Amino acid sequence: MRTFLSFSLLLVFVSILPAQTPVQPEDPGAYVPRIKDKVLEEIKEANKEKKKEAEARTEEIQSEWKERKKKEKEDMPQFKAVIGEMERPASLEDFTKVWHNPPVAQYLTGTCWSFSTTSYFESEVHRLTGKSVKLSEIYTAYYEYVEKVRSFVQTRGNTYLGEGSEGNAVPRIWKAYGIVPLQAYPGVLAENGRHDHSVLFDKIEAYLDYVKEHDYWNEEEVVSVVRVYLNETLGPPPETFTYDGKTWTPLSFLKDYLKLDLDAYVEVMSTLRYPFWTRAKFEAPDNWWHSEDYLNLPLDTFYAAIRRSIENGYSVAIGGDVSEPAYSGMDEVAFIPSFDIPQSYINQTSREFRIANNTTEDDHGIHLVGYTRIGDHDWFLIKDSGRSSRWGPHEGYYFYRDDYVRLKMLTFTVHRDMLTGELNRLVTKTES
């Protein structure tokens, strides 16, 4: 019995011992191609095609609606005044005119300020010296772009960008860079000879956006890059040129050939924003350098100075609003219809109301070159570089009635000889 018990205990002991684990071979690892489920891949590809088709359709629909809205806007009729049988000038011969060069077109540019004021100074050269000279508008515009870019860097992006400027930019640029005749610098490289600054300005604006975004304010480098853009479209302006058998620089041509005293010209405005008979700032985006040289006159005095100037053989560079219902290129007239405001109501306050609510804006620069009186109204002959002045029979001209000038014209430039009394009063007020 003891033997049997011992054997049994031995069996129990053996049964609780762990079983011996067999030795396994080492499991190798390796990179193998990813298995793509064919069905799932087909679904994914189908979804991609659907997405592309949906995006293409969306783009097509958006494009269709964009074109539709554009066409609707283009086809939408404008509310305009009906000219009817209004008594008005019939031709250029109805006006007493000052000497001026024939009208030229600015085409697709925002440089009316240069075209109008350059034309004005051409007339002044002829009045003072008897010389008939055609000057380059784009030479001035070229350096106005340069100075605007320079200011953009100096103000760290706070200079107003745009193609526009004011008439007194012209003497400011000429004092620094001189001026050249048109034959020395046409300012256009396009084969058709038409000015187009749209792509040029887009490039300048995009580059300056980059400069501002990256806080990169190296003035000379930024200006040099912009001048590359300008040279590509306008051509590089000349440092010297030959004219009338002599070699000139732009500055010597201004001083010794044109003989203009640029300090003899006065900028005038009429606004309730500042005291009359003082010099103040013309509040407009295109006055980007914030000139405070404008002589501020009451409206009646402002208008009288314009009329007195043209009646005495002095032309006037003038600027203001040209987006009114009675501003018609087809009819070549600009006047204020009675449904806008009766003429007897046009005064300093009604003028200012339109300035304050932005229905009178600084749209366009032009050159006032003639005068006549028809019935109860003064009429002014306007030389214009804009496109609408080329829709009527007298290409490049408008006929402005007195009410339009009083209500909608904001500033003008004239020789100080035509403002002797006004300037004397300004000096007296300043001294007191």
pLDDT digits (tens, 9 = 90+) for 130-177: 999 999 999 999 999 999 999 999 999 999 999 999 999 999 999 999
Please name which of 99, 124, 125, 133 lies closest in space to residue 415, comparing C-alpha atoms: 124
| Phi, psi dihedral angles at 417 (to 5 degrees) | -60, -25
- What value does the mean pLDDT take over residues 74-84? 87
Instruction: Name which of 15-29, 41-55, 243-257, 332-346 the model is least confident about.
Output: 15-29
Q: Token pair of 253, please?
A: 């041509």
Summary mean pLDDT of the chain: 93
Q: Token pair of 263, please?
A: 């300090």
Residue with tokens 């980007």: 288
Q: Helices (H), strands (E): how many in the chain?
A: 12, 13
Burial of 223 from C-beta contacts in 10 A (0-12 / 13-18 / 19+): middle
Kind of pairing, strands 265-269 and 294-296?
A: parallel
| Residue 53 pLDDT greater than 70, yes or no | yes
Give yes or no for a contact between 295 and 279, defined as CB atoms under 8 angstroms apart: yes
* 264-432 and 105-260 share a CATH fold: yes
Give yes or no for a contact between 216 and 208, defined as CB atoms under 8 angstroms apart: no
Q: What superfamily would CATH give domain 105-260?
A: Cysteine proteinases (3.90.70.10)
Give the residue extent of every domain in the chain.
Answer: 105-260, 264-432
Please name which of 254, 37, 276 lies closest in space to residue 129, comparing C-alpha atoms: 254
- What value does the mean pLDDT take over residues 23-47? 86
First to last CA, the chain: 146
Cα(414)–Cα(268) distance, integer angstroms? 8
Give yes or no for a contact between 408 and 364, defined as CB atoms under 8 angstroms apart: no
| Residue 226 pLDDT greater than 60, yes or no | yes
What is the pTM assigned to this prediction? 0.85
Report the pLDDT value the prediction gives residue 432, as an integer from 0 to 100: 39
DSSP 97-163: E---PPP----B-S-HHHHHHHHHHHHHHHHHH-----B-HHHHHHHHHHHHHHHHHHTTS-SPPSS
Residue with tokens 């008979």: 277
Confidence of residue 428 (pLDDT cuts 50, 70, 90): low
Cα(330)–Cα(208) distance, integer angstroms? 39
Residue with tokens 């684990």: 21
Query: 264-432 domain in CATH 3.40.50.970?
Result: no
Give yes or no for a contact between 420 and 314, defined as CB atoms under 8 angstroms apart: no
- What value does the mean pLDDT take over residues 318-335? 95
